[in-house]
Amino acid sequence: MPETLRDEELNPEIISSEVVFDGAVWDVRSDRFRYGDSEITRHYVDHTGAVAIVAIDENDRVLLIQQYRHPIRSRDWELPAGLLDIEGEEPLLAAQRELAEETDLIAADWKPLLSTFTTPGGSNEIVHFFLATGLSDAPDTHARTEEEADIRVEWVPLADAVTAVLDGRMRNALLANGVLAASLRRAER
């Protein structure tokens, strides 16, 4: 594939835009816009954005967490992740904060891994993935409540996580994107 192959930003004329549902975490918007010779209305989740962390230790194991997710009625395996919900916070700082909050770990080395739009047909959510290495215990531990109160933390060989994703045993999209990208990057070294 040529390096010039990339998504193209397009800014059609917005005729109207309103919040039709004001949520606790994200909103639903209704936009009416001109596209070609038409006027189109689309509803979508207006999301703050998020970060996800692929934390890998010196034994090539990836840190996974398991927690309850109500929409899918499942305790799914995930990467440590969180919302960009602090005004003006850079994605890297959010990733560092989320790793400490969810796992009580810090990392000495951080590298951007990839960024993805999760469901561009229905949401403007973008997730920034970071590869974190040089892990150690955080100086402070965090109290966890609600779904985070019983987070399960496991170190899993990266190859096993990739196999579980490809076998359909772990279906979280952020987990899949992160471990597959990390595996490819590590293979390129």
- Active-site residue numbers? 148
Longest dimension (CA), the chain: 59
Q: In sequence order, what E strands does the chain have?
A: 14-21, 27-35, 38-46, 50-55, 61-69, 74-78, 81-83, 105-117, 126-137, 152-157
Q: Quick one: CA torsion of 118, 6, 94, 185, rounded to 10 degrees?
A: 90
